[in-house]
Amino acid sequence: MAFENLVAGAICGFAKLLTGVRAVWRGSKPEERQRVYFANHRSHGDFVLIWASLPPPLRRITRPVAGADYWLATPLQRYIGANVFRGVLIDRATKASKGTNPLAQMCGALAQGDSLIIFPEGTRNLEDGLLPFKSGIYHLAHAHPEVEYIPVWIENVGRVMPKGAIVPVPLLCTLTFGAPVQIVSGEDKQAFLNRAREALSALAPAEE
Residue 46 pLDDT > 70, yes or no?
A: yes
Please write the tens of the pLDDT for every residue from 85-119: 999 999 876 655 455 689 999 999 999 999 999 99
Beta carbons within 8 Å of 96's beta carbon, 6+ residues apart: 102
Residue 92 in any domain: the answer is: no
Please write the tens of the pLDDT for every residue from 11-33: 888 888 777 888 999 999 999 99
Domain hosting 146: range is: 2-64+102-201
Spatial distance between the Cα atoms of 60 and 10, rounded to a whole number of angstroms: 15
Instruction: Report which DSSP code applies to 184.
Output: P
Residue 20 in any domain: the answer is: yes
Residue 184 in any domain: the answer is: yes
Full-model pTM:
0.88
Instruction: Report which DSSP code applies to 83.
Output: I
Residue 25 in any domain: the answer is: yes
Spatial distance between the Cα atoms of 180 and 150, rounded to a whole number of angstroms: 5
Distances (CA, A) of 111 to 49, 82, 103, 144, 186: 25, 18, 12, 9, 23
Domain count, the chain: 1
Distances (CA, A) of 124 to 70, 78, 128: 13, 21, 11
Residue 148 in any domain: the answer is: yes
Residue 75 in any domain: the answer is: no
Residue 206 in any domain: the answer is: no
Residue 97 in any domain: the answer is: no
